[in-house]
Amino acid sequence: MNLLDLSTFLGAELRGEPEVEVTAVASLEEADERTLTFVESRRKLDEALTSRAGAFIVPDGLELPGRNVLVSADPRFDFSRAIRLLIPAEKISEGTSGQAVISADATVAPDVRIGPFVTVEQGALVGKGSQLYPGVYVGRGSRIGEDCVLYPNVVVMSGCTLGNRVVVHAGAVIGSDGFGYVTKGDVHHKIPQVGQVIVEDDVEIGANATIDRAALGTTLIGRGTKLDNLVQVAHNVQIGEGCLMAAHVGIAGSSRIGRYVMFGGQVGVADHISVGDGVMVGGQSGLARDVAPKSIVSGSPAFPHREWVKASMVFQKLPEMERRLRRLEKALGQGEDEGKP
């Protein structure tokens, strides 16, 4: 695509030669003359000046004399749009593989692409434009919306609902049983998990992530929320819209996560707690109590992030602090033991 067309598509001002062609995208250091790249800030200026890229998306005010630039109010966003234009999303082959097993009682839109070794059980529904990669399982009565992508070996158990444009990466499991037992004497009796999972529009679910069905009612993943790989969502959890949860996050049963909440990797959330809108949680933190909206917290158990940073620094000096304390006690003629109540 030539830069004129690209600038028109992006709505970005072109400063450079309109007829130059770019066919690929790359980072500054890996770019060559057929490549589009981007510069987000002045900090990358030196790198940009030595880059061999054929064209750059740059913020207003950043000069790259003699180079082809497209001036953008949001270079990262426009670069992201340009990627999809230059490199169309992969699709599996059209039609339904002869090696797939689709129940005669399932409803599959005519343009759905279904790879080999896919199973779609009775009563299931797959909306138009969706793709089921090889090895996908869609259980009884489950509904997959329009323009969804289920990558290889994804499992959607029975009675679950995915909205439109939901992307589920390879090996993820939706609708497995929640972890619920009644213990009588020394036996853990299973509580049948007869609820469902609802995954709203525009959700993305990472590879090998697991989302349990509700015991009763619904486990909910709100619109536009993105879950990274290996995330665990327990039964009856409710996650609001627009959340971002990094890898290995685990959320225990019945907890409610607000809208636009962000969790770093390996965060753990206890059961039956409530996390307010806009909360941000540092990696490896543990939430054991309700968290007020807009809080920024860290630690296990978590408390305000700024205080945690300070406390963590003092933690490293604890042996020294103990020595200082002992010295003071000596100076005052106090034994260590006397300090005990």
Structure tokens at 186: 């020394």
Q: Where are the alpha helices (H) located in 99-243, listed in sequence order?
A: none
Q: Quick one: 50 or 316, whose CB is closer to a second copy?
A: 316
> Of 109, 166, 174, 113, nearest to 138 (Cα)?
174
Q: Quick one: 66 or 184, whose CB is closer to a second copy?
A: 184
The dihedral through the CA atoms of 110, 114, 117, 123 has a sign that is: negative
Question: In the bound complex, what is the minimum distance in angstroms from residue 124's beta carbon to a second copy?
Answer: 13
Question: In the bound complex, what is the minimum distance in angstroms from residue 80's beta carbon to a second copy?
Answer: 4
Structure tokens at 126: 């797959």
Question: In the bound complex, what is the minimum distance in angstroms from residue 216's beta carbon to a second copy?
Answer: 5
Q: Tell me the catalytic residues.
A: 235
> Of 66, 81, 89, nearest to 36 (Cα)?
81
Q: Quick one: 14 or 234, whose CB is closer to a second copy?
A: 234
Contact 80, 120 (CB under 8 A): no
CB atoms within 10 A of CB 110: 7
- Give dist(CA 55, CA 61) in Å, integer: 16
Question: In the bound complex, what is the minimum distance in angstroms from residue 238's beta carbon to a second copy?
Answer: 13
- Give dist(CA 330, CA 217) in Å, integer: 63
- Give dist(CA 58, CA 63) in Å, integer: 8
Q: Quick one: 17 or 32, whose CB is closer to a second copy?
A: 32
Angular region, 277: left φ>0, alpha ψ -120 to 50, beta rest:
beta
Question: In the bound complex, what is the minimum distance in angstroms from residue 258's beta carbon to a second copy?
Answer: 13
Q: Quick one: 127 or 180, whose CB is closer to a second copy?
A: 180
